[in-house]
Structure 1
Amino acid sequence: MPGARLLPDLARCAFFFDLDGTLAPLAPTPDAARVPAGTIALLQRLQQACGAVAIVSGRSQAVIDQMLAPLRLPVSGLHGAQWRGPDGRIWELSVNEDAAGRLLASLSAIADRYPGIRLEDKGLSYALHYRQAPEREAEIRLEACAAAEAVRDDYVVQYGKMVVEVKPRGVDKGQALERFMETEPFAARLPVMAGDDLTDEPAFAVVARLGGLAIKIGEGPSCARANLADPAALARWLEILLPPAGHRTGPALGN
């Protein structure tokens, strides 16, 4: 039986959340994913209670805002290639346009070649989703790696759940979280990060190094010390964490 760890007072915490598979249940296609209205309301209450809540996602900043509307939070999009701080200022990584064009053409050809494969153009990164054709995983991964190798100075492969993404080299969610932790009001707080996928592991590692709490959503190996079953369980945990009476120590998590 796993032990238990209590979450400190909200005023001492900085909260970070992945989007798909964490706040939003996984969907057959990216366009079908939705964050439940109740979860958005919980995030708004959390922001009001502690003042330090951010989204760290592989989605673009524009899509994050759309999925969380009307709530608008500090965000890191595209695995850290986009960043909007608490003051609203926006930073975006510059990419090699020629390499990006060649990469997009190669990945488009892969998607066209295999039924059930969907190419998601995120602007700075590109994802091949094979949830509708899981039997093609080995082929899609192999061909995506070959496409990335042709632009290896600028791009790198990132695996995820039923997806292989080719993203700009030199960015990840761990770096994005560290950047937030150097910025008010996140600085000097205890980081709490919830995520469900391989892309969240760099952020979990940073949280562990900073003495915070990493929460793995769903099954699978992880360096996170705590676990919740699914996005609905995360929402229930947040509901318990946010009593109407005000701040108090939160509920226990398995670790």
Structure 2
Amino acid sequence: MTLPTHPGLDALLSDPSGAVIGLDYDGTIAPIVADPAAARVHPEAPEVLAGLAKLVGAVVIVTGRPPGTALALGTAEGGASLADVPGLVILGHYGRERWEAGRITAPPPTPGLDRVRTRLPELVRSLGLDGVLIEDKGQAVAVHTRRSPDPEAALTALSAPVAGLAAEAGLVVEPGRLVLELRPAGMDKGRALSRFLAERRARSVMFVGDDLGDLAAFEAVVAAPVPGVRVCSRSPEVSELAERADIVVDGPSGVVELLREIAEEIRRRLGES
């Protein structure tokens, strides 16, 4: 592909050592699949990210998943792993948990999650919904409808009751691609990204996402005091992100190709082979 012209992208290419590359996980560097536990990273992503990480200031994955889960799913079939990406940081649970240099740091789980773990299965049964999957993420609980006979209808049926349960438990609901996630308030991908940019004294930023939860990160890119570029991994299920993106690519394969082209252009400008 030919790299598009954009001021934020040009700033990144001109001064790569000051650039932060932020990425979502699901739908961005891993395909969306029916079973979240099977969302293995794109086979070329670890190698491409490893090469890019050697050229830029930092690569950070900002995801709703626990960092340990992203790492467990982050080994490609050929053996390359996200854990091998130099200096990689994973901000999981929207920034509540952090993995860096082989160590995870996290606050204690919110007490309201125990209430959700008890009540959510009862709620799903009371609605008579088939194919609904509940995923316990430790610091959050998600309910997926992708396996339901009518995923959109199931999501609609769940929306109000899940919102009510979240309110009772002192949590918030994060909607996504055929998923509702109940999690603690006070942190989102935008706040997590903004704090990381300040920590690393970034001089430019790129964020790549695919879902509604990534809108906050897009807003953080716009609000950042440095040049930025927003990239959408296109999905037929979510159009809002593409409408706000500076660059749109086709799914994880398109993301990997874009990152590869960025690394190659940086090497060219640096005079590397």
* TM bucket normalised to smaller: 0.7 to 0.9
Deviation at 1:104, TM superposition (A): 1.2
Residue equivalent to 2:136: 121
Q: Where do residues 1-255 of structure 1 align in structure 2 (5 Å cutoff)? A: 4-5=5-6, 6-7=9-10, 8-9=12-13, 10-69=16-75, 70-72=81-83, 73-85=88-100, 90-97=104-111, 99-112=112-125, 113-133=128-148, 134=151, 135-152=153-170, 155-183=171-199, 186-210=200-224, 211-219=227-235, 220-222=239-241, 223-243=244-264, 246-248=267-269
Do the aligned partners of residues 247 and 204 (structure 1) sit closer, same or farther apart at CA in structure 2, a change above 3 Å counting?
farther
Q: Residue type matched to 2:196 in 1?
A: F
Q: Residue type matched to 2:165 in 1?
A: A
For structure 1, the 5+ residue unaligned runs are 250-255
Deviation at 1:200, TM superposition (A): 0.6
Contact 1:18 1:57 in 2 (8 A): yes
CA deviation profile, 1:28-55 (whole Å, cap 9, x unmatched) = 1101211122111101111112241010
Contact 1:111 1:128 in 2 (8 A): no
Matches of 1:159 and 1:66, distance apart in 2: 24
Matches of 1:232 and 1:205, distance apart in 2: 24
Deviation at 1:88, TM superposition (A): 5.8
For structure 2, the 5+ residue unaligned runs are 76-80
Secondary structure at the counterpart of residue 243 of structure 1: helix
Matches of 2:195 and 2:266, distance apart in 1: 32
Matches of 2:122 and 2:107, distance apart in 1: 26
Root mean square deviation, CA, Å: 2.1
Which shows bigger deviation, 239-248 or 133-142?
239-248
Deviation at 1:12, TM superposition (A): 3.0
Contact 1:131 1:162 in 2 (8 A): yes
Query: TM-score, normalised to structure 2's length?
Result: 0.81
Identity percentage of aligned residues? 29
Matches of 1:67 and 1:130, distance apart in 2: 21
Which shows bigger deviation, 225-234 or 52-61?
225-234
Query: TM-score, normalised to structure 1's length?
Result: 0.87
Matches of 1:120 and 1:104, distance apart in 2: 10
Matches of 1:206 and 1:244, distance apart in 2: 26
Q: Residue type matched to 1:189 in 2?
A: R
Which shows bigger deviation, 160-169 or 59-68?
59-68
Matches of 1:38 and 1:232, distance apart in 2: 9
Q: Residue type matched to 1:108 in 2?
A: P
Q: Residue type matched to 1:179 in 2?
A: R
Matches of 2:70 and 2:228, distance apart in 1: 24
Q: Residue type matched to 2:119 in 1?
A: S
Which structure has the highest helix share of the two? 2
Deviation at 1:236, TM superposition (A): 1.1
Q: Residue type matched to 1:148 in 2?
A: A
Do the aligned partners of residues 124 and 218 (structure 1) sit closer, same or farther apart at CA in structure 2, a change above 3 Å counting?
same
